[in-house]
Structure 1
């Protein structure tokens, strides 16, 4: 969940990127920043640490994201200057959401116990397109072995849980009621 400040920064960078015609490049940068921060606990710790000097945070971020668009690098500078570098991940997520929304792209998240094969992925995409009346759908797949089988599909605020783990919990609750 992004904070209001992160959303404001994301809107500002999106507006700036639209003016320059670089919103797709910045979109790629933001997806990469989000993935990098999610993968690196150490980098997240550096950004949140009040002990690490802003110059060191800036140097670290510029080293990791050196070849990014100037708009993205100026955002990093701004966040460090304002002592809000810890918001970088949230800003990136907000930018991706705002970009998708502005392009009419629906993002569906599917969580399964194992990797989806191509035919099943195509069926899920077709069903989400049908349900949302959208021609552009992006599917984000997550793997969670604890589901045992089945899937969980989330589109916006709607979630459909057809996992074996959920069905087992339902059966357990039903048994508990009858005892």
Structure 2
């Protein structure tokens, strides 16, 4: 029987803007990149549920896709795909902070200051060593501005390698783990995926209930929200758009 994994990944409430953006930087650290190399982009995907053609169409010749493949190659060889995915999710959340992203994208900030901040982030977030080194490689290559795009591409590679369906569950309040497990099981039935991973999002506009997005770029939707029911009632009564308090 296919295994099922439910993981809530969207919330990182403890992450705060690193102190290095608010104070004078620490003395320069000598960060060695020799422990991890990214020698090739020839990652072989074995028996993916999605066709190789679909992967090829997605993985066009972009820098973000190439870096994502290289990182997945290292993670796969180290048997740390899951742990690296957790790192990437945290990185995506951290770089969603405009202050953090602006700092790293600023070409006038020297590389050593950026590496100091990488070290602080990696230490506080308990990153894998190759994840820390990967961020430093992006700094040296002046590609750190692509980090959020790389995170999206890495997620696609991970899902393909592990036959995983990603589902985004939006609700007004945090759902209990058993409810998320039931949702994941239903998504598994609909998609035939070996694994299902859940990301949770809080959306007060739904009033009550929840929605589930899955499939390529969230193209499929299960809408169990009160907002939808109210809109359907309004349409049936020809009341026009109901403006809900958000």
Q: Structures share a fold, TM > 0.5?
A: yes
Return the TM-score normalized by structure 2.
0.62
> How far 1:158 sits from its partner (Å)?
1.0
- In the superposition, the TM-score normalised over structure 1's length comes to 0.82
Task: State the superposition RMSD in angstroms.
Answer: 2.6
Q: Is it true that 1:164 corresponds to 2:222 in the alignment?
A: no
The corresponding residue for 1:92 is 151
Counterpart of 1:23 in structure 2 is 81
Alpha-carbon deviation of 1:104? 0.9
Q: Summarize the Cα distance change of 1:135–1:14 in structure 2 as closer, same or farther, 3 Å threshold.
A: closer
Distance of aligned partners of 1:50 and 1:168 in 2 relative to their CA distance in 1, 3 Å threshold: farther
| Structure with more of its chain in helix, by fraction | 1
CA distance in 2, matches of 1:100, 1:45: 29
Which runs of 5 or more structure 1 residues have no equivalent in the other structure?
none
CA distance in 1, matches of 2:204, 2:80: 39
Distance in structure 1 (CA, Å) of the matches to 2:225 and 2:82: 35
* Within-5 A mapping of 1:111-150: 111-150=170-209
Contact 2:184 2:196 in 1 (8 A): yes
CA distance in 2 between counterparts of 1:95 and 1:22 reads 13
Q: Which has the higher contact order (CA 8 A, sep 6+)?
A: 2
How far off is 1:71 after superposition? 2.2
TM-superposition CA deviations, 1:14-69 (whole Å, max 9, x none): 1122234333332232222223323x332122122233222211221122114533
Asked if 1:6 corresponds to 2:72, the answer is no
Unaligned runs of 5+ in 2: 1-58, 242-246
Matched residues, number: 175
Q: Are the aligned partners of 2:118 and 2:136 in contact in 1 as well (CA < 8 Å)?
A: no
Give the aligned partner of residue 239 of structure 2.
Answer: 175
* Residue 140 of structure 2: aligned partner: 81
Q: Distance in 2 between matches of 1:118 and 1:74?
A: 34
Aligned equivalents of 1:26, 1:43: Cα separation in 2: 21
In structure 2, relative to structure 1, the CA distance for the partners of 1:100 and 1:53 (3 Å cut) is: same
- Relative to 1, partners in 2 of residues 1:153 and 1:71: Cα closer, same or farther, differing over 3 Å? same
